[in-house]
Copies of this chain bind each other. A is one copy, B any other.
Amino acid sequence: MAETLSSQEALKLWHQALLSSVRAEGPDLSARQMALFLQVYLAPPPHTVRGLAATLQISKPAVVRALDTLGRLDFTRRRRDQSDKRNVLIQRTVKGSVFLSEFADWVVTASDTL
């Protein structure tokens, strides 16, 4: 378990992890896209467009577009809810898990340099 970070350490952590990601030619996700991506992987399902929009406090079309991008990257997948066909359930993918695992490593490595 980590102890409390100082502000300076927090920024340095963010800086080093982002540097790793950018240099590795990782996908250039915006803050919204990354937040949405992590929400899908870390919060318990089910995830719907409306639910994600409410959680992130952004518009529904913004969620749809972010899902378009994440889907293009094969980081998330859409599936119709068979019990209520108005809903779309957002699911994880293998490729998304792999990227997230790599990303987590960058953060961990950055935290080791503090």
Q: A64 an interface residue at 8 Å Cβ cutoff? A: no
**Chain A binding surface, main DSSP class:** helix
B57 to A22, Cβ gap below 8 A? yes
A32: which B residues are within 8 A, CB to CB?
22, 28
Chain B nearest CB, measured from A16 CB (Å): 9
A56 to B107, Cβ gap below 8 A? no
Q: A73 an interface residue at 8 Å Cβ cutoff? A: no
User: Complex Cα distance A7/B111, Å?
Assistant: 11
User: Complex Cα distance A5/B113, Å?
Assistant: 11
The 8 Å CB contact of A100, one of B3, B11, B31, is B11
A34: which B residues are within 8 A, CB to CB?
14, 18, 31
Chain B nearest CB, measured from A44 CB (Å): 13
The 8 Å CB contact of A22, one of B5, B56, B111, is B56
A23 to B57, Cβ gap below 8 A? yes
A108 to B22, Cβ gap below 8 A? no
A22 to B58, Cβ gap below 8 A? yes
Q: A98 an interface residue at 8 Å Cβ cutoff? A: no
Give A1-40 as 1s and 0s: 1 = Cβ < 8 Å from B's Cβ atoms: 1111111111111110111011100111111101100110
